[in-house]
Amino acid sequence: MKKIINPYINKKGYNCIGCSPNNPIGLHLEFYEDGDDIVSMWSPSENYQGWLNTLHGGVIATLIDETAGWVIPRKLQTTAVTSKLAIHYKKPVMTTDKMLTIRARIVESKHNFHTIHVTLENERGEICDEADALYYAMSPDKAKEMGLTECKVEGE
C-alpha cells in the first residue's frame, strides 16, 4: 500500500471533519492506495458511540463517505460531490475494536457519475457495513478552482 499525499493540507480554510489533520473534533483519516482500492484505517473510541460500546451510525456514514470520496481525486485526478449514499448496516461496529478498515473502489462509471463500493471491516476482518456511493465528478477546471491540482502517493 502507498500512502496518499493529502493535496489540501496547505489550502486556506481546509478543515474537513473527515480528513483534516488539524480539525480538533475531526476523524483525522489518512488514505492509502492498494491496487484499485483506496483504504483507510481508523481507531474508534467511546467518544463516537451511539449506544454503549457501539459506533454511531452517522460516524459510520462519515467514514464510508470520506473514504469513497478519496477514490475520485486519486483515481481520476479530479474532485467530486456525493450524489447518493446507500449504506447496508449489517452488524454492530464496536467502539472497543482497536482498528477498523474501510475499503473503497470504483465499480461503475457513466459520464461524470461514478459508483463506488465501500466496505467497513472490524478488527477481525468481518464486513460490518457495505455501501454504494454515487459521486458526480467535476471538470478539471472546477477541480483546480476547488484546490485540487493533483493527488499523488508517496514516492511518486
pLDDT in tens, 82-133: 999 999 999 999 999 999 999 999 999 999 999 999 999 999 999 999 999 9
pLDDT per residue as tens digits for the range 11-59 = 999 999 999 999 999 999 999 999 999 999 999 999 999 999 999 999 9
| pLDDT recorded at residue 125 | 98
Q: What is the pTM of this model?
A: 0.96
| pLDDT recorded at residue 146 | 87
C-alpha cell at 31: 488514505
How far the first Cα of the chain sits from its last, in Å, is 13
Which of 55, 63, 106, 123 lies closest to 87, judged by CA? 63
Alpha helices in the chain (DSSP H): 57-69, 71-76, 140-145
pLDDT per residue as tens digits for the range 44-56 = 999 999 999 999 9
List the 80-89 sheet strands across, edge first: 2-3, 32-34, 37-42, 100-110, 113-121, 127-137, 80-89
How far is residue 132's CA from residue 65's CA, in Å, rounded to a whole number? 9
C-alpha cell at 115: 459508483
C-alpha cell at 53: 460500546
Res. 147: pLDDT tops 90: no
How far is residue 1's CA from residue 50's CA, in Å, rounded to a whole number? 32
